[in-house]
Each structure stands twice: as structure tokens, then as C-alpha cells.
């Protein structure tokens, strides 16, 4: 039987990505990053759209070449319809629609956050797939959620952030320390050399399974401002300890809520997804948690941050249900879960 071959396209923020997937296996997953935003300290939407425009054709071409597949081998085109930056989403959606008309192929509209969760169902020798139901802690630059996953297409949010996302907490704290965007990976890097208990930052007291990270950012801002008044070199001298302490606080907030979610749902399978799941402190804390009778699933590194393989796997499951998209659909900056 011919395998199910899906082309996934992702363009919701500042990564242009395309992937060819065959029966849940990734044949190629090409990701073009956009360095242009570094000097602005954050993603500039208009520049992101323009970079997607220049990247999309070569990225799709490259992914088909690496997969050793032709356009004619495809069964469907899955693309991110939201949530994300509208101008950025528009590039992937227009390209996907054009291809669908040209090749007479069905379209599948993909929810970016649900796709992050399904990165766990990609078949890859380097990762194991969780059984259902499982809990997924989805932590990215724009979202922080705990999701109960009953089946690939049955996902329900049981906790989410009331203000900043975990990735934002990393990036904004990094900015206060004078680190370039995106600061998350840099905090992770410097934290390796630092003492996580040297500085104590506040953890919010939020009921239930919701999160809050805006207090931490303010805490870091005032603390650093006061210390710099006493010693202008404070940040450069203490950088590793500051990074380790900030990372420790964010990870502790996340781990405490995930423990609570396990208690409340009785589900002992924990997966993480989204860009922050690349964080080594979070990965380590989850591995420690695994010692307490729960099973932990950490995606392969390239499936953590934004990528099109996760879009293709979501497309795979929607295709099996014949849930196809329409040429009339427009990208959604906000997209209910
Ligand atoms: O999922 P993602 O690639 O894009 C969004 O959909 O937002 O997540 C990007 C976020 C950024 O905030 C980035 O700083 C964070 O993930 N991130 C990290 C690490 N790698 C990426 N945060 C902490 N440690 C890392 N190693
Ligand atoms: Zn994402």
C-alpha cells in the first residue's frame, strides 16, 4: 500500500520550516531561522513576513530534495493556520493554498500548539511515543499550558498562564541581563556554570493549575537595578549565578504545577513540548521526577522548537479523519484550542 505522504509547512513566528512525513516518520525537516531579529531584541512581525517570503520556496524545495520525494508523491499539504503572527502565517498559508490548487491536493489546517503536543507521536528511533492518556506541558515563547491528551485529536487544556509564557520569562529576564534575543538558550548556557541557589526569586502563589510569570520578571528587574546601583559590574560578575537562579525558579514553577496536575488527574505519563522543552534544567528536573513512579517523555531536540515535522504529524491524523481545510480559511492570530 502506498504510504501516506504529507508535506508540513510552518511559518507562525520566526522559523520557516517544511517537512516531508511518510506514515508518521520524518523523511526531512528543514528549518530556516531568521537572525534578522537579533538586533531588535525580539521578533519584528513585518521583518518575519518578509523573511518567510524569501525562505519559503527554497525551504520547501530543500525538504523535498532531502526526502528524495517529488511534489507528485504528496497526498496532502498541512500548514499552520494559527495562532501566530498574521503576516507570518499568511506566507505559509498562501503558499500551501497555491500548492494545493496547483497539485490538486487536499489542505489540512493545523493548530500550532496542538501540533507541538503531537511532536510526541512522531516515529523516530531517538524518541519513545507515550500511550494515551498523557499530560503534556507545552512551554513556548507565547504559551504555557498543561494539556490532557486523550487521543491525537482530543486535547484539553487544564492549566495555562495568566500573563507571560515561560519562554517570555526566560527571554525578558535575559534582556534585563543584557543578553540578546532569544535569551532562553543563553540563560540555559550560562546557568550550567552557576549556583541555582545563590539568588532567591519569588515563585507566585496561583491557585489550581494556572501559571504566572510576570512577577518573576519584575522581581529580576528590581533586584538587578538595585544591585547595579551598588556595583555597576554586578551583572557581568554574577551572570552564571543569575542565570542559574532564574532558570531554577522557572523550572520549579513548572515542575510544581505538573506534579499537582498528576495528583489531580491521576495520569502518570508526562510529556513536554515547545521551545522551552529544549531547556537542560527542565529536562533534568523531569528526569528526577521520573524516579517518583511516573514516565517522562522528552522530544528529540529538533522537534522541541518550531518545526514543520510537528505540523505534518498533526496533518497525518487529520487526514485519517478526512478533516480537510478550505481555500477560504484565513490565518488566525488567536486560535481557540
Ligand atoms: O516553541 P518555540 O520555538 O516558538 C514559539 O512558538 O514560541 O519557543 C520559543 C521559546 C523562546 O522563548 C526561547 O527563548 C525558548 O523557547 N527556548 C528556551 C531554550 N530554547 C528555546 N528557553 C530556555 N532554554 C532553552 N534551551
Ligand atoms: Zn511554537
State phi, psi for 166 to the nearest 5 degrees.
Answer: -60, -40
Question: Which CATH number goes with the domain that contains 257?
Answer: 3.30.420.40
Q: Give the domain extent around 57.
A: 5-120+304-320
Specify the pLDDT at position 33. Answer: 86
Asked if 331 and 82 count as a contact pair (C-beta separation under 8 A), the reply is yes
Instruction: State the closest ligand 1 atom to the C-alpha of 113, by its place in the atom list counted from 1.
Output: 6
As to burial, measured by CB atoms within 10 angstroms (0-12 exposed, 13-18 middle, 19+ buried), residue 125 is exposed
* Number of structural domains found in the chain: 2
Domain match, 154 and 96 both: no
Among 85, 170, 250, 282, the mutation site with the greatest number of ligand 1 atoms within 8 A of its Cβ is 170
pTM of the shown model = 0.94
Same domain, 45 and 150: no
Number of neighbouring beta carbons within 10 Å of residue 52 = 28
Ligand 1 in reach of 299 Cβ (< 6 A): no
Could you identify the atom of ligand 1 that is nearest to the CA of residue 182? 14
Which of 128, 57, 59 is CA-nearest to residue 98? 57
Q: Are 289 and 268 in contact (CB under 8 A)?
A: no
Please tell me the distance between residue 43's alpha carbon and the centre of ligand 1 in angstroms.
13
String of DSSP letters for 8-41: EEE-SSSEEEEEEEETTEEEEEEEEE-GGGGGGT
Question: What is the per-residue pLDDT for 44?
Answer: 84
Q: Same structural domain for residues 93 and 17?
A: yes
> pLDDT tens digit string along 285-329?
999 998 878 999 999 999 999 999 999 999 999 999 999 999 999
What confidence tens digit (pLDDT) does each residue in 76-112 have? 999 999 999 999 999 999 999 999 999 999 999 999 9
> Which has the closest alpha carbon to 214: 275, 166, 146, 179?
166
Domain check: are 111 and 252 in the same one?
A: no
Classify the C-alpha dihedral 203-259-150-28 as positive or negative: positive
* From 31-45, 57-71, 152-166, 244-258, the region with the lowest mean pLDDT: 31-45
Residue of higher predicted confidence among 202 and 30: 30
Q: Probe ligand 1: pick from 110, 244, 276, max atoms within 8 Å of CB?
A: 276
Rounded distance between C-alpha atoms, residue 263 and residue 303, angstroms: 28
Residue 327 covered by a domain: no
Average pLDDT over residues 190-213: 96
336: helix, coil or strand? Answer: coil
67 & 192 share domain: no
Mean pLDDT of the chain: 96
The Cα 311–Cα 119 span in angstroms is: 8
Asked whether residue 197 falls in the same domain as residue 281, the answer is: yes
Backbone angles phi and psi of 171, in degrees to 5: -65, -40
Say if 336 falls within a structural domain. Answer: no
Give the Å distance between the CA of 239 and the centre of ligand 1.
20
Q: Distance, CA 71 to ligand 1 centroid (Å)?
A: 32
- Is 330 inside any structural domain? no
Ligand 1 centroid to Cα of residue 244, in Å, is 17
Average pLDDT over residues 169-173: 97
Q: CA dihedral defined by 244, 246, 248, 254, rounded to 10 degrees?
A: -150
Give percent of the chain above pLDDT 70.
100
Inside any domain, residue 334: no
pLDDT at 65 (0 to 100): 98
Using alpha carbons, list the distances in angstroms from residue 259 to 186, 209, 271: 27, 10, 12
276 lines ligand 1 (CB under 6 A): yes
Buried b (16+ CB within 10 A) or exposed e, 88-120: bbbbbbbbbbebbeeeebbbbbbbbbbbbbbbb
With 90 as the cut, is the pLDDT of residue 37 above it?
no
Amino acid at each position: 500500500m502506498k504510504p501516506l505522504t504529507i508535506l508540513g509547512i510552518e511559518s507562525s513566528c520566526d522559523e520557516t520550516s517544511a517537512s516531508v512525513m511518510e506514515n508518521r516518520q520524518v523523511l526531512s525537516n528543514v528549518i530556516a531561522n531568521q537572525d534578522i531579529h537579533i538586533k531588535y531584541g525580539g521578533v519584528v512581525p513585518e521583518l518575519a513576513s518578509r523573511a518567510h517570503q524569501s525562505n519559503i520556496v527554497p525551504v520547501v524545495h530543500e525538504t523535498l530534495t532531502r526526502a528524495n520525494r517529488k511534489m507528485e508523491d504528496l497526498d496532502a499539504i498541512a500548514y499552520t493556520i494559527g495562532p501566530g503572527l498574521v503576516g507570518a502565517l499568511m506566507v505559509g498559508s498562501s503558499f500551501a493554498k497555491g500548492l494545493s490548487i496547483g497539485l490538486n491536493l487536499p489542505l489540512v489546517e493545523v493548530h500550532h500548539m496542538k501540533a507541538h503536543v503531537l511532536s510526541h507521536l512522531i516515529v523516530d528511533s531517538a524518541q519513545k511515543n507515550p500511550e494515551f492518556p498523557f499530560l503534556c506541558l507545552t512551554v513556548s515563547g507565547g504559551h504555557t499550558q498543561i494539556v490532557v491528551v486523550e487521543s491525537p485529536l482530543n486535547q484539553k487544556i487544564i492549566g495555562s498562564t495568566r500573563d507571560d509564557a515561560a519562554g517570555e520569562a526566560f527571554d525578558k529576564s535575559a534582556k534585563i541581563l543584557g543578553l540578546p534575543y532569544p535569551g532562553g538558550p543563553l540563560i540555559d548556557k550560562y546557568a550550567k556554570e552557576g549556583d541555582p541557589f545563590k539568588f532567591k526569586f519569588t515563585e507566585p502563589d496561583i491557585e489550581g493549575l494556572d501559571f504566572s510569570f510576570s512577577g518573576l520578571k519584575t522581581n529580576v528587574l528590581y533586584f538587578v537595578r538595585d544591585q547595579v546601583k551598588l556595583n555597576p559590574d554586578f551583572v557581568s560578575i554574577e551572570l552564571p549565578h543569575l542565570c542559574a537562579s532564574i532558570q531554577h525558579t522557572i523550572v520549579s514553577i513548572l515542575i510544581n504545577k505538573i506534579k499537582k496536575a498528576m495528583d489531580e488527574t491521576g495520569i502518570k505519563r508526562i510529556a513536554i513540548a515547545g521551545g522551552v522543552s529544549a531547556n537542560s534544567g527542565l529536562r533534568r528536573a523531569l528526569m528526577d521526577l521520573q524516579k517518583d513512579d511516573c514516565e517522562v517523555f522528552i522530544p528529540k531536540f529538533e522537534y522541541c522548537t518550531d518545526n514543520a515535522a510537528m505540523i505534518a504529524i498533526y496533518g497525518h491524523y487529520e487526514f485519517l479523519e478526512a478533516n480537510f481545510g478550505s481555500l477560504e480559511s484565513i490565518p488566525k492570530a488567536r486560535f481557540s484550542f
